[in-house]
């Protein structure tokens, strides 16, 4: 019997041929592009000022996003009729539940670049439900009756899915500047992740983490941004309750994914690459470059769980470690006595 082929846990997302449109550009990776990524899919999207990802909804996945650069505005409708409009800048995140209608528009100045993460590996931007596609797919008489238009006016609407559109850049006369009764740092659909005080490991790096505890609407996803100093190691660990999807924002890194029974895959990453780790699989991430390595990480669970190797070892009796590894007491005493999380070079 032939041995089953081991999948790659790396995908060069930013080198993929993009989908282009008026005011926008997108690159996506579902399980069809990246076979290892069975539980999570991702998209890199850029919008010009005024460029918009048209009104749409996703039937099979929730959407979690992180803004890398620039600024944008989102709108969303809830099943109870409530609606929300928010603006986002670098380091901000949003979450839209599965099936909720929403839009995204660049507001300038300059391009807005953001990463979208979906809690379903089989998600595809090409199979999202868009408002223009919906309206043009029903009989013209139905569209006219529903929208209160004449048949001649319906003929003025798009004849195919718009997907990307280029409109006016929102200004002070638009609802983007409508005053809120109480200005807030976060809102129902917005969490400013980069404004969070990070978990800091001197000489090793930092972690910022947002879960459903800090961001209650994000019930199915959580996210993190990790910075690793040159040579630093996000120690060997695994996540019992979620798959892990990574976008390498800057720097270079190495990761090995342990698949049990002697099987492991080592990958090397650079800026714009995507990595994936199946739920429960052991792994580490090491900065292999001379600059800080910055990684966006998404999990398909609103609650974050991790078991770090150092902490596990430290909780076991020393004699048990000696017997388990067949080593001397002196060697067992050198094992970690507390959680490391990130180990400096």
> What average pLDDT values come out for the chain (345 residues) when binned by 10 residues?
71 97 96 96 98 96 98 97 95 98 96 98 83 97 98 97 94 64 85 97 97 98 98 98 98 97 96 98 98 98 98 97 97 96 97
Alpha-carbon distance 275 to 9, whole Å? 6
Of the candidates 11, 61, 66, 69, the one whose C-alpha atom is nearest the C-alpha of residue 36 is 11
Is 125 marked active-site? yes
What is the Cα–Cα distance from 53 to 140, expressed in whole angstroms?
24
Helices (H) and strands (E) in the chain, counts: 6, 26
pLDDT at residue 6, rounded to an integer: 77
Sign of torsion over alpha carbons 296, 301, 303, 304: negative
Q: What pLDDT score was predicted for residue 184?
A: 79
Query: How far is Cα of residue 42 from the mean position of the Cα atoms in its chain?
Result: 6
**118: helix, coil or strand?**
strand
Residue 271 C-alpha from the chain's centroid? 15
**C-beta of residue 65 within 8 angstroms of C-beta of residue 91:** no
Q: Is the peptide bond between 206 and the residue preceding it cis, with omega within 30 degrees of 0?
A: no
Contact (CB, 8 A) for 237 and 256: no
pTM of model > 0.85: yes
At 318, is the secondary structure helix, strand, or coil? helix
Tokens of 332: 């067992």
Is 63 assigned a catalytic role? yes
Q: Is 102 a catalytic residue?
A: yes
Annotated catalytic residue within 27, 58, 234, 283: 58
> Cβ distance 267 to 8 under 8 Å?
yes
Active site residue: 48, 125, 161, 244, which one? 125
Residue 56 catalytic?
yes
pLDDT on residue 1: 39
C-alpha to C-alpha distance for 104 and 106, rounded to whole angstroms: 7
Select which of 48, 63, 161, 244 is catalytic: 63
Residues 6+ apart with CB under 8 A from 108: 49, 50, 70, 71, 169
Which among 291, 284, 274 has a CA at the least distance from the CA of 341?
Answer: 284
User: Could you tell me if 208 and 193 are in contact, meaning their C-beta atoms sit under 8 angstroms apart?
Assistant: yes
DSSP 174: S
In whole angstroms, how far apart are CA 140 and each of 55, 110, 131, 236? 20, 38, 15, 59
- Check residue 187 and report its DSSP letter: B
Token pair recorded at residue 80: 């109870």
Give the model's pLDDT for residue 183: 72
Catalytic residue among 27, 46, 56, 237: 56
Token couple for 79: 């099943």
152 is annotated as an active-site residue: no
Pair 68, 114: CB distance under 8 Å: yes
Q: 141 catalytic, yes or no?
A: no
Geometric angle at alpha carbon 218, from 189 and 185, rounded to 5°: 40
Question: What was the pLDDT predicted at 179?
Answer: 61
> 102, 237, 283, 294: which one is catalytic?
102
Catalytic residue, candidates 27, 46, 48, 53: 53
Q: Residue 124: its pLDDT value, please?
A: 75
Burial of 254 (0-12, 13-18, 19+ CB in 10 A): middle
Phi, psi values for residue 256, rounded to 5°? -115, 130
pLDDT at 221: 98
């Amino acid at each position: 019997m032939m041995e089953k082929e081991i999948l790659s846990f790396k995908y060069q997302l930013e080198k993929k041929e993009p989908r282009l449109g008026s005011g926008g550009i997108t690159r996506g990776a579902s399980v069809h592009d990246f076979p290892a990524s069975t539980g999570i899919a991702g998209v890199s999207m850029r919008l010009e000022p005024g460029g918009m990802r048209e009104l749409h909804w996703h039937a099979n996945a929730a959407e979690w996003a992180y803004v890398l650069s620039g600024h944008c505005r989102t709108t969303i409708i809830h099943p109870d009729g409530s609606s929300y409009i928010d603006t986002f800048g670098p380091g901000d995140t949003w979450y839209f539940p599965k099936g909720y209608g929403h839009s995204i528009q660049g507001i300038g100045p300059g391009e807005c670049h953001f990463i979208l993460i979906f809690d379903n590996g089989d998600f595809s931007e090409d199979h999202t439900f868009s408002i223009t596609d919906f309206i043009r797919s029903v009989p013209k008489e139905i569209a006219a009756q529903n929208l209160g238009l004449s048949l001649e006016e319906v003929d003025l609407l798009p004849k195919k899915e718009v997907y990307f559109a280029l409109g006016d850049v929102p200004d002070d006369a638009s609802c983007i500047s409508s005053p809120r009764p109480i200005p807030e740092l976060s809102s129902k659909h917005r969490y400013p992740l980069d404004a969070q005080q990070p978990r800091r490991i001197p000489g090793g790096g930092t972690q910022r983490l947002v879960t459903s505890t800090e961001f209650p609407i994000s019930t199915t996803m959580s996210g993190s941004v990790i910075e690793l100093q040159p040579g630093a190691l996000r120690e060997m660990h695994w996540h019992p309750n979620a798959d892990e999807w990574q976008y390498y924002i800057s720097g270079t890194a190495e990761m090995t994914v342990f698949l049990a029974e002697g099987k492991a895959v080592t990958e090397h990453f650079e800026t714009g690459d995507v990595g994936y780790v199946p739920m429960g699989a052991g792994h580490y991430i090491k900065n292999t470059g001379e600059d800080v390595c910055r990684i966006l990480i998404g999990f398909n669970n609103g609650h974050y769980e991790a078991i770090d190797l150092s902490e596990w070892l430290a909780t076991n009796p020393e004699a048990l470690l000696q017997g388990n590894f067949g080593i001397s007491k002196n060697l067992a005493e050198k094992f970690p006595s507390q959680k490391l999380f990130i180990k400096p070079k």
